[in-house]
Amino acid sequence: MSNCSKILIVDDDVTIGNMVQEALESEGYMALRAYSGTEALMVIEKENPDLILLDLMLPGLTGEEVLAKTKDIPVIVVSAKTDIEGKVKLLYEGAADYITKPFVISELIARIAVALRMSKAQAASGSSADESVNDNIIEACGVSLDTELNIANISGTEITLTRTEAAILNILMINAERPLGRNTILVRIADSTPDCTERSLKQHISNIRKKLEAADGIDHIEAVYGIGFRFK
C-alpha cells in the first residue's frame, strides 16, 4: 500500500512515537518525527507535512502553542488530557480531531485516513469546514439544516428537531461521509448541549435517523463499527 502522505509525529515519548511510526509505515505513510514543540515547528517549515499527530505535554513549546502556529495542515491531537473543556477549546481553535491516550492504533489509523481525505476534499473545493460552521444553513447529501431554527429540510419537507438533535446533525453534516467517533461528537456539541451523554447519544441519533428517513425513505446516518457514526 502506498499513501504517499507525510505525517509528522510530535511526541517526546519515544515508545509511543516508535509504535505509531511503525503502524504508519506499515500503511504506506511517510513518518516524520519531532520530540519537542520547537523542533515540530522546524520540521513543519522544512517538510510541510500533510498531517500532524500532536501531543500536548511537550518540552519547549506546548502542543497548544504549536497548534496556534499551524496553518492549513490538519492536526489530530493525541493526548492523555481528558477534560471536556480542553478538548472543546482545541477543536474550536483548529484541531481536526482529538484522540485520548491510551488509544487503539486501528482507530488512530482510521482517523488519520478520514482527516486526510477531508483535507484533500476541502483543498479541491476551495472551501473549509469552518466556512460551513459559520453559515446558518448547511447542506449535505440532499439534506439542509437551519442551525438557528433547528429545522431540517428534505425536498421541501420540513423536519423539526430538538436542540440536541440539531447540534448532532450539524456536526455529522459538516463532516459528511466522514466517520466521527462518539466521543468526538460529544466533545463538539458540549457547549451547546451539555445534557447529551454517551448513553443518550445513541437514542438521539436513532431519533434523527427516523425523522429524516420518514421524509425521503433514506437512512442518512450509518453506524460505523468501532468508530461511531457517518452522515451519507
Q: Residues 102-114: pLDDT tens digits? A: 899 998 998 898 8
Q: How confident is the model at residue 184 (pLDDT cuts 50, 70, 90)?
A: confident
Query: Which whole number is the average pLDDT over 196-224?
Result: 90
Q: How confident is the model at residue 138 (pLDDT cuts 50, 70, 90)?
A: confident
pLDDT of residue 88: 82
pLDDT value at 124 more than 80: no
CA distance 118 to 59: 30
* DSSP character at residue 86: H
CA distance 23 to 103: 13
Nearest to 11 by CA among 29, 27, 35: 35
CA distance 119 to 50: 9
What's the order of all strands across the beta sheet hosting 97-100? 30-34, 6-10, 51-54, 75-79, 97-100
pLDDT of residue 89: 83
Q: Which domains does the chain have, with CATH numbers?
A: 6-125 (3.40.50.2300), 129-231 (1.10.10.10)
Burial group, residue 121, by CB count within 10 angstroms (0-12, 13-18, 19+)? middle
User: What are the cell numbers at 225?
Assistant: 463499527
Q: How confident is the model at residue 73 (pLDDT cuts 50, 70, 90)?
A: very high
Q: Which of 43-47, 132-136, 143-147, 161-165 has the lowest mean pLDDT?
A: 132-136
pTM over 0.85: no
pLDDT value at 119 more than 50: yes
pLDDT value at 130 more than 60: no
Burial group, residue 49, by CB count within 10 angstroms (0-12, 13-18, 19+)? buried
pLDDT value at 47 more than 60: yes
Mean pLDDT value across the chain: 86
Do residues 9 and 20 lie in contact, with contact meaning Cβ atoms separated by under 8 Å? Answer: yes
Q: Which amino acid is at 44?
A: I
3-state secondary structure of 212: helix
Q: How confident is the model at residue 134 (pLDDT cuts 50, 70, 90)?
A: very low
Residue 38 backbone phi and psi in degrees, to 5 = -65, -45
